[in-house]
Amino acid sequence: MISFWEKQTFVHSHFLIIGSGITGLSTALSLREKYPTKNILVLERGIFPSGASTKNAGFACFGSLTELISDYETLGELDMLALIEKRRRGLETLRSRLGDEVIDYQQHGGYELITESEIGALEHIKSMNTRLMPLFGEPVFSMKNEDIKKFGFDEDTVKALVYNPFEGQIHTGKMMRALLKLAAEKNIQVYTGADVESIEDDHRRVYVKIKDKINDEITLRSKKLIVCTNAFSKKLLPNLELNPGRGQVLVTEPIDDLKIKGTFHFDEGYYYFRNIGDRVIFGGGRNLDLEGETTTEMQTTDLIINNLKEKLENVIMPNQPFKVEQTWAGIMAFGKDKTPIIERVSPNVTVAARLGGMGVAIGTAVGEQAASLVYQE
Domains contained in the chain, CATH given: 4-54+174-240+338-375 (3.50.50.60), 62-170+242-334 (3.30.9.10)
What is the pLDDT at residue 319?
Answer: 85
- Number of residues written out for the chain: 377
Per the CB < 8 A criterion, the answer to whether 25 and 179 are in contact is yes
Give start and end residues of each alpha helix (H) in 1-76. 4-9, 22-34, 65-75
Asked if pLDDT for residue 264 goes beyond 70, the answer is yes
Q: By three-state DSSP, how is residue 305 classified?
A: helix
pLDDT in tens, 351-366: 999 999 999 999 999 9
Q: Pick from 281, 306, 280, 292: which is nearest to 246 by CA?
A: 292
Instruction: Estimate to the nearest angstrom the gap between the alpha carbon of 87 and the chain centroid.
Output: 10
State the pTM of this model.
0.95
Mean pLDDT confidence for 59-83: 95
- Taking the C-alpha atoms of residue 55 and residue 250, their distance in angstroms, rounded to an integer, is 11
pLDDT in tens, 188-218: 999 999 999 999 999 999 999 998 777 778 9
Asked if pLDDT for residue 186 goes beyond 70, the answer is yes
* Higher pLDDT pick, 4 / 161: 161
Q: Phi then psi for 313, rounded to 5 degrees?
A: -75, -35
Asked if pLDDT for residue 376 goes beyond 80, the answer is no
| Whole-number Cα distances in Å, 187 to 34, 107, 182, 309 | 14, 32, 9, 44
What is the pLDDT at residue 215?
Answer: 72
Per the CB < 8 A criterion, the answer to whether 371 and 365 are in contact is no
Q: Kindly report the average pLDDT of the chain as a whole number.
A: 95
What is the pLDDT at residue 375?
Answer: 83
Residue 48: pLDDT band by 50, 70, 90 thresholds?
confident
Residue 377: pLDDT band by 50, 70, 90 thresholds?
low
Q: By three-state DSSP, how is residue 194 classified?
A: coil
pLDDT in tens, 268-326: 899 999 999 999 999 999 999 999 999 999 999 999 999 999 999 999 999 899 999 99
Which residue type occupies 181?
K
Q: Phi then psi for 130, rounded to 5 degrees?
A: -65, -40
Q: Please, what is the angle between helix 172-185 and helix 22-34, to 10°?
A: 30
